[in-house]
Amino acid sequence: MPRVRSIHILALTPLIAAPAWLTLVMLALIDTLPAAAMLAAGALALLPAAALAWYAAALIELVRAALSRLAADGPEAVAAAAIAEVLFAGPLVHGTARVAQAWERDRAALESRVATARAMVEALPDPLLALDAGRRIVFANSAACRLLKAGRRDGGTDGRDLSAVLRPPSLLGAVDAVLAGDGEQAAEFTLAGPVERTFAVRIEPVAATAGDGGTRVLVVLRDVTADRRGDAMRVDFVANVSHELRTPLASLVGFIETLQGAASDDAAARTRFLALMGQQARRMTRLVADLLSLSRIEMREHTVPEHRIEIAGVLETVASLLAPRAEGRDMTIERAFAADAGAVTGDREELVQLAHNLVENALKYGRAGTAVTLAAERRGDRLLLRVTDRGEGIAAEHIPRLTERFYRVDTARSRELGGTGLGLAIVKHIASRHLAQLRVTSTQGEGSTFTVDFPALPAAPEGGRDALPQGRSSTVTRP
């Protein structure tokens, strides 16, 4: 009986709040070796959170075994067993379960936040790299993987030195400076390739934190190729306009000074100089007119036209306007289009200017005595406008640059023929506004074909009204 009382007392002591001591008591009650009891008590302190539920279940089994042993010793032992069951077995299990559930909720919430942050970084359009203190890549988002052509992160970016995938000295120097403690850095570099690309880079230091994977530097790259090309185009444009205007202005100033001086009384010289001055003045007038036209078209380029335009009427207008110029060069304009060639959604004035520029170019560069073919045909839901000359053709390396402002294959000949270098740039912008594409094919020694591929409108109902309003008639005049 004294042994039973001692057990009863133990059951009512604060040991019920100490799972390690409780384990020792229960193991002792079922005649477990003292060494095993000590092992269980020490192991409890090392249990991870995920093992709490398992530990609680094991502890319950120990309690039940002890209760069974006590029940064999009589009514007083049974009372002690009941008290022990009420005081610590139930609360301990429920408390442990609540802790485990709370930890599980916290873990799930943390994993959700990490997954959301990772998805946001992956969705960034700009390449992002995380580097450790040794300049090795510990993370690369999808944009960075595409840039480095390494596929996903398991395709070869993680763990590699930055210099193995990006070698520009300006970038590597900026990263080394950040790792040396110099603070945030910026750099810019150009990647060579089929299409040259320029990147602006921002390198930021990252404070060391637990679980950051060793990240010490963030590298963010932004593609500024379009910006740099735009800057270069603006610089070139100003330089070209200045050059184009300076040449005729210098000629005019020279002629005026001559007429005011030695040739003031020379009627023949005066007549010749005045003719040259008129030629230079008309050249500047054409240049200014084309610049204003290009500026106007660019301002409206993103506004879709709303009128239904029959293409045959546009081509007939252009052929009639340029017939005198063709005759002056002993050339002809062949009309290879039907009256019902098709219609497009467009701006009639701009379409006339587009066709006018193409036919005018063909008359300039076609051989004297040949024909320029002006054609239109419908193919499925597309309408193709073609202008073909029989000239010397264009070398393949020049074709991609033909629509650049002031670009000329033969600068001297273009100026001699009155070209401004803006005609095809205007064609390109008009085509873009009409959702059309300009294509150029050329064979040297045979000639060139310029094709504008428009989306075609359905044929108008016979005897009915068009779905779109008809465009206004217009003409193009050139000085």
Residue 407's identity, in one-letter code, is Y
Provide the sign of the torsion angle of the four alpha carbons 451, 453, 457, 459, taken in this order: positive
pLDDT band at 156 (very low <50, low <70, confident <90, very high): low
**Mean pLDDT in residue range 165-179:** 91
What's the gap between Cα 73 and its chain centre? Answer: 82
Supply the pLDDT for residue 47.
47
**Mean pLDDT in residue range 405-430:** 77
Residue 397: pLDDT over 80: yes
Residue 366 in contact with residue 358, Cβ under 8 Å? Answer: no
**Mean pLDDT in residue range 222-249:** 80
**Mean pLDDT in residue range 309-337:** 92
Supply the pLDDT for residue 212.
54
Supply the pLDDT for residue 228.
85
Supply the pLDDT for residue 77.
55
pLDDT digits (tens, 9 = 90+) for 421-439: 888 999 999 999 999 999 9
Residue 479 CB coordination number (10 Å): 10
Domain span(s) for CATH 3.30.450.20 in the chain? 125-223
Pick from 279-288, 373-382, 408-417 the range whose average pLDDT is largest.
Answer: 373-382
Residue 194: pLDDT over 50: yes
CATH 1.10.287.130 fits 228-297, yes or no: yes
Supply the pLDDT for residue 154.
46
Domain span(s) for CATH 3.30.565.10 in the chain? 302-455
**Mean pLDDT in residue range 188-214:** 79
Residue 96: pLDDT over 80: no
Of all residues in the chain, the percent with pLDDT exceeding 70 is 71
**Average pLDDT of the residues of the chain:** 76
Residues 312, 336: Cα–Cα separation, whole Å: 10
Q: Which fold has domain 125-223?
A: Beta-Lactamase (3.30.450)
Residue 445 in contact with residue 424, Cβ under 8 Å? Answer: no
**DSSP string covering 257-294, please?**
HHHHTTTTT-HHHHHHHHHHHHHHHHHHHHHHHHHHHH
Of all residues in the chain, the percent with pLDDT exceeding 90 is 25
pLDDT digits (tens, 9 = 90+) for 324-363: 989 988 999 999 998 888 999 999 999 999 999 999 999 9
Residues 390, 377: Cα–Cα separation, whole Å: 20
pLDDT digits (tens, 9 = 90+) for 32-67: 444 444 444 444 444 444 455 555 565 566 556 655
Beta strands in 108-266 (DSSP E): 128-131, 137-140, 185-191, 197-205, 217-223
Domain span(s) for CATH 1.10.287.130 in the chain? 228-297
* Contact partners, residue 102, CB within 8 Å, separation at least 6: none
Supply the pLDDT for residue 16.
41
pLDDT band at 151 (very low <50, low <70, confident <90, very high): very low
Supply the pLDDT for residue 39.
45
Of 327, 319, 293, the closest CA to residue 423 belongs to 293
Residue 155: pLDDT over 80: no
Residue 31: pLDDT over 60: no
- Identify the residue with better confidence: 396 or 304: 396
Q: Tell me the Ramachandran region of residue 32: left when phi exceeds 0, alpha when psi lies from -120 to 50, beta otherwise.
A: beta
pLDDT digits (tens, 9 = 90+) for 101-121: 888 888 888 888 878 877 787
Q: Candidates 3.30.565.10, 3.90.1150.10, 3.30.300.30, 3.30.390.50; correct CATH number of 302-455?
A: 3.30.565.10
- Identify the residue with better confidence: 82 or 238: 238
